[in-house]
């Protein structure tokens, strides 16, 4: 984390407040662990640990890009967080160790909304898949 940079410092406007937050997010060496500062209460999915069985990977999840984040909810690895406001609140609490005030949350969300842009059609077109054959792996049956 960058010295002297705290989200609890009152932002003067949404841009300044949010660039501070962006600095925290990009400078923290958190190894993408959810619950770095305060243990995340929902451990029903232990993340990468489930594949590697390494303690180091407990609660490690891929951090999605924030580009277009206002359109990519629901949030977090299990989609249990419905709104951007709630996602930011939890980030403050579990990743940064701050109870963000509503005005701060709004300020950050305003900035996150500024990351919305046009998604190039090439990036979202359905992929061309190979023909299905009897050897093609199938999803496991539910239950």
Instruction: For the CB of residue 120, give the shortest distance to ligand HEM in the complex, in Å.
Output: 19
Contact 12, 6 (CB under 8 A): no
- Residue in 8, 16, 50, 72 binding ligand HEM, rule: CB under 6 A: 72
Task: Please return the burial class of 41, using the count of CB atoms within 10 Å of its CB with bins 0-12, 13-18 and 19+.
Answer: exposed
2 vs 71: CA distance, rounded Å: 29
Q: Which of 6, 58, 77, 101 binds ligand HEM (CB under 6 A)?
A: 77
CB 18, min distance to ligand HEM, A: 8
- Of the candidates 6, 36, 49, 113, which one interacts with ligand HEM according to CB under 6 A? 36
**Region from 49-57, 71-79, 122-130, 133-141 binding ligand HEM, contact rule CB under 6 A:** 71-79
**Per CB under 6 A, does 61 bind ligand HEM?**
yes
* Beta bridge mates, 11: none
How many angstroms separate the Cα of 35 from the Cα of each of 17, 53, 55, 124, 138?
Answer: 23, 18, 14, 31, 34
The total number of residues written for the chain in this structure: 143
101 scored as a contact of ligand HEM (CB under 6 A): no
- Tell whether residue 105 is a contact of ligand HEM (CB under 6 A): no
Segment near ligand HEM (CB under 6 A), from 23-31, 49-57, 114-122, 132-140?
A: 23-31
List 28, 46, 68, 85, residue binding ligand HEM (CB under 6 A): 28
- The answer to whether 116 and 70 have CB atoms below 8 angstroms apart is yes
């Amino acid at each position: 984390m960058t010295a002297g940079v705290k989200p609890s410092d009152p932002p003067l406007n949404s841009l300044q407040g949010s660039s501070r937050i962006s600095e925290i997010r990009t400078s923290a060496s958190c190894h993408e662990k959810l619950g770095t500062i305060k243990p995340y209460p929902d451990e029903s999915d232990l993340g990468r640990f489930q594949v590697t069985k390494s303690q180091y990977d407990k609660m490690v999840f891929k951090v999605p890009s924030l580009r277009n984040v206002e359109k990519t909810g629901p949030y977090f690895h299990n989609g249990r967080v419905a709104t951007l406001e709630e996602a930011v609140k939890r980030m403050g609490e579990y990743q940064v160790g701050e109870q963000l005030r509503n005005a701060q949350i709004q300020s950050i969300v305003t900035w996150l909304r500024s990351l919305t842009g046009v998604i190039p059609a090439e990036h979202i077109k359905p992929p061309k898949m190979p023909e299905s054959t009897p050897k093609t792996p199938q999803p496991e049956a539910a239950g």
